[in-house]
Structure 1
Amino acid sequence: MPSYIVVGGQWGDEGKGSIIAYLAMHDKPEVIARGGVGTNAGHSVFVNGKKYAVRQLPTGFVHKDARLLVGAGVLVDPEVFFYELEHLKDFNVKERVGIDYRCAIIEPEHKELDRTNSYLHGKIGTTGSGCGPANADRVLRRARQAKDIKELEPYLTDVAAEVNDALDEGKLVLVEGTQGFGLSLYFGTYPYVTSKDTSASAIASDVGLGPTRVDDVIVVFKSFPTRVGAGPFPTEMSQEEAERLGLVEYGTVTGRRRRVGWFDFEFARYSARINGATILAITMLDKYDKDAFGVTDFDKLPAKAKEFIAEIEEKVGVPVGLIKTGPELEHIIDLRENI
């Protein structure tokens, strides 16, 4: 069975959570592992009209039979972790989750520094979650690890071993990324970036997955990209234009209003190349064309929406396999069989 990685292709907030939730429920992977930075990225999922927001655990929690793993490269905030165990109790997450014992810990002082440092919070516009300072301590080899926190002991595991064992046993593995390509420490708009690389290669490394064991990379793009915090945004539109188009959004973690822009085909092509995209997922097509809302058959999409998808495929050079046409899990068009 294959493994696949889902990552954001823009500035985060692409709707990865909704794509991952669909894949989890439709493909039913036995293992869902989360890579990425830490609790500075929030993913939202709508299930039966109810919104669930997670910052620490895999968004694939909606698949109640999957083993849920947090890879060694991910920062863990015990306070957030235990809150989400309670928040998601309807999904029996507590019995299914495992944290790699090598995860570095976000301490209270990391969060305090992140929220009060004039450069990090003031100029760069960090979320205040403590991830940057925690990763700095990790690089300096003084951060505590999950194995040092007594309360986490029941959940500790070797995620890399579990992921590779699952593949050896022919199980399907879904790996989740966080943030977006434009926020990569290496390839993004430095210094207005997050504290590590966010490309698919880094996400694979976070969970201990070697490059030859990745079968597909799904890169998620939103019809109107958004960005939270400071930094370059070449296709940004005015707030007035965003309001006119009904594109007012707020960050899951920070609550800050998101900046909104037009789809950047050149940036999307570069993002897809570096991520090694094999499949594209397009979210919020209904925001681009309101008549596309809730459509689940590609042939029934309005002409404007079809033309937009065709333009993306032509200019980015990768086929579109998944299209979200609304917030609910069932608001999706799955074209992967045609790729």
Structure 2
Amino acid sequence: MRRVLLPHYISDAVPPEHAVLHDLRGLSMGTSWSVRLAAPLAVDLAGLQQGLQQQLDDVVAQMSHWEAGSHLGRYNRAPAGTRQVLPPAFFDVLSFALDVACASGAAYNPCAGALVNLWGFGPSERYDQPGYTAPTPAQLVQACAGIAPQTLAPDAATRSVCQPGAVQLDLSAVAKGYGVDRLAFYLQAQGYQHYLVEVGGELRGAGTKPDGQPWWVVLEQPPERNASGVPESIVLALHGLAVATSGDYRRYFEHDGQRYSHTIDPRTGWPISNALASVTVIHPQCMAADAWSTALTVLGPEAGLHLAERQGLAARLLCRNGDGTYTETLSSAFRSMLDR
């Protein structure tokens, strides 16, 4: 039997009369995106598709660490000691990421791009390419030495940040969530109030479907063969909310018999090795759900739950027990949404 999560606030707004479901989809950020829209039959789908794609193209042009010509790429190559003026969206996303870094004790750190690259999860010299070798402890120590978030010294008045020298920004743990938010903002600006937006499995919903039902989504579960060991599934009415999940099963590699997760602990330089299989965060903003799920994952079960409670986050933490079963821990904000 599935458990049900309901938002604390449910709007009484209904879709337009005779609304139907429209589906749009595309590719961006190395993954796919989709939009389900409850709107009248006569909708300029081609124009809407183009506008939605442009929102994500703009995020890539500003914040991609895979595109050398992006604003982020240019920042990463800037001379030491210079201040770099950023586009408004880039500055806002980076500022939020730095706030999460501060609140999490740097368990999440947008300045850790050099570590991501060393572990083969960047755009070049990847773990799945011939000749890759895992970094040495000395390399990790050196990479960790130059990633203090406070050295960026963001200035809101000028929208500028410092490049202290060799800092490699990586916003992959927040930019995809921000992309989800951008699609939602665009739909709202076009007058659409009822939609479900998804980018690479992260979602945000508003309003309802034409039949008045909310956008029901099933929270992501670890893809284990032994389903009996996984707690019963949870469905969420994604109404004015976003959801993101960080899981150690998404990307990893094995090297010399050792499994390495793509989630790096910026404080040590090593991939995480705690027992957390996944962390799901529900939040009004997908950007926030994205970043916080990563921070809680790095912190681990106990410290992660403590931070979730301190921040008032609706979080679900699944911890492997080692025998094929899981321990599920829910924050107070998450439990308050459960329909018992």
TM-score (normalised: structure 1): 0.27
Structure whose residues are more often helix by fraction = 1
Greater C-alpha radius of gyration: 2
The higher relative CO (CA closer than 8 Å, separation ≥ 6) is in 1
